[in-house]
């Protein structure tokens, strides 16, 4: 029998049993991760090896170095994920790997490793969209209500989605320029904060007055869209002007005011989408969802509006493989397996019915 025939037989057996283990691998940026989840999306292990410290000296991720770190760390994180789960490769029923979006070299490392494992063990394989993984992270915290509004906020993406079910999304809004996380990082760089910029800006903002500076929300043609380039530029200009005039400026006040404005934009559109669709449930996910100010403000505003709020734990907000496993389980249940010809797609888009709701 060919690999395809053996993998198909294993997939059918997995679906027939309704239980089994998925080994997931994530390597889209600077985290090298592996996890084991079952078909009930219970997490048995979730190992993340971050290379963030390596990139502090560079002020950001260097793609070539990131790829080399993935190659070095992948065997170890996979071995530890299996060990932490109390399992061996003989117990694994399916392998999943992130196929995009992300850094192409980094993606190829993890995806190739995952496909090689699948081929070597005659296991079915699933390539996972990294953003779909972030969306699925909330499912690891417990059952979710559908439909709901989902706000995805990360370093490379900011989207507002209507989630009909775990694998069906309708886009309501997106950023027209910078992603929220990208704006955080660029503002942090302007404030001379070290990498990673977002978390360091959040820490600095705790010491500042969020009402010190008024950064306005831009008006866009599509009301559910986002734009963060203007506020990022406003921060840069504010700091540059102060420097040119020899004026002292409270960097903590700038950070706090910037953070308030960005979070305000995100939540304004998210709750507007809930009203528009008459949905009383909001899920927030992605790396920026780990921001404590965003979490606290979202919880307060959701409570005041009677909106049920889903937020992953901070460990599940940032890149990890458990969320990739959760997304893979959703695909397994919909019989959406993939072949080993699956390739890395650095600009991979989330599969959704774009503009289907005409928002």
pLDDT reported for residue 1: 87
CB 344 within 8 A of CB 108: yes
Q: What is the dihedral of CA 106, 193, 290, 350, to 10 degrees?
A: -40
Q: Which two tokens stand for residue 315?
A: 């460990």
pLDDT greater than 60 at residue 356? no
Look up the CATH number of the domain holding residue 308.
Answer: 3.30.420.40
**How many independent structural domains does the chain possess?**
2
Does 297 lie in the same domain as 155?
Answer: yes
CB 153 within 8 A of CB 298: no
Which residue carries 């283990």 as its tokens? 21
Classify residue 344: in a domain, yes or no. no
Does 214 lie in the same domain as 97?
Answer: no
Average pLDDT for residues 203-230, to the nearest whole number?
94
pLDDT reported for residue 148: 98
**pLDDT tens for residues 4-62?**
999 999 999 999 999 999 999 999 999 999 999 999 999 999 999 999 889 988 989 99
Domain that holds residue 89: 3-136+318-333
Does 298 lie in the same domain as 193?
Answer: yes
pLDDT reported for residue 352: 54
Does 298 lie in the same domain as 157?
Answer: yes
Average pLDDT for residues 330-344, to the nearest whole number?
95
pLDDT reported for residue 57: 87
Classify residue 16: in a domain, yes or no. yes
Does 128 lie in the same domain as 182?
Answer: no
pLDDT reported for residue 22: 99
pLDDT greater than 60 at residue 353? no
The neighbouring-strand residues paired with 95 are 23, 125
Average pLDDT for residues 270-297, to the nearest whole number?
98
287/316 Cα distance (integer angstroms): 9
**pLDDT tens for residues 167-210?**
999 999 999 999 999 999 999 999 999 999 999 999 999 999 99
pLDDT reported for residue 351: 73
Higher-confidence position of 221 and 136: 136
pLDDT greater than 70 at residue 359? no
Q: Which long-range contacts (CB under 8 A, 24 or more apart) does 62-66 make?
A: 63/103, 63/104, 63/105, 63/106, 64/105, 66/29, 66/30, 66/103, 66/105, 66/106
Whether the pTM exceeds 0.85: the reply is yes
**pLDDT tens for residues 146-164?**
999 999 999 999 999 999 9
Confidence of residue 355 (pLDDT cuts 50, 70, 90): very low
Does 124 lie in the same domain as 157?
Answer: no
């Amino acid at each position: 029998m060919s690999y395809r025939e053996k993998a198909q037989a294993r997939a059918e057996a997995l679906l027939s049993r309704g239980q089994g283990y998925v080994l997931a691998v994530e390597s889209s940026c600077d985290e090298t991760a592996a996890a084991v989840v079952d078909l009930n999306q219970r997490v048995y292990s979730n190992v993340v090896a971050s290379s963030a410290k390596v990139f502090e000296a560079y002020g950001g991720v260097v793609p070539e170095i990131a790829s080399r770190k993935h190659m070095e760390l992948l065997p170890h994180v996979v071995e530890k994920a299996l060990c932490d789960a109390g399992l061996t490769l003989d117990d694994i029923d399916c392998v999943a790997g992130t196929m995009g979006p992300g850094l192409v070299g980094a993606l190829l490392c993890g995806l190739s490793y995952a496909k090689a494992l699948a081929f070597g063990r005659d296991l079915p394989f699933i390539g996972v969209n990294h953003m779909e993984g972030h969306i699925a992270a909330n499912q690891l915290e417990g059952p979710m209500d559908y439909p709901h509004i989902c706000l995805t906020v990360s370093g490379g993406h900011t989207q507002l989605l209507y989630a009909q079910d775990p694998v069906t999304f309708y886009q309501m809004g997106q950023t027209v320029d910078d992603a929220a996380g990208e704006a955080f990082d660029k503002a942090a760089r302007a404030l001379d904060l070290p990498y990673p910029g977002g978390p360091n800006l959040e820490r600095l903002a705790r010491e500042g007055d969020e009402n010190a500076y008024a950064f306005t929300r831009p008006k866009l043609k599509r009301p559910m869209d986002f734009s963060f380039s203007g506020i990022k530029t406003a921060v840069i200009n504010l700091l540059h002007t102060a420097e040119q005039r020899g004026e002292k400026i409270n960097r903590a006040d700038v950070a706090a005011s910037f953070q308030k404005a960005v979070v305000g934009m995100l939540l304004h559109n998210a709750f507007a989408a809930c009203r528009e669709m008459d949905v009383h449930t909001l899920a927030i996910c992605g790396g920026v969802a780990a921001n404590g100010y965003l979490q606290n403000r979202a919880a307060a505003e959701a409570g005041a509006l009677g909106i049920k709020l889903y937020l992953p734990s901070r460990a599940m907000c940032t890149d990890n493989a458990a969320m990739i496993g959760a997304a893979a389980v959703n695909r397994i249940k919909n019989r959406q397996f993939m072949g080993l010809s699956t390739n890395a797609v650095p600009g991979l888009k989330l599969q959704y019915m774009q503009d289907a709701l005409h928002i």
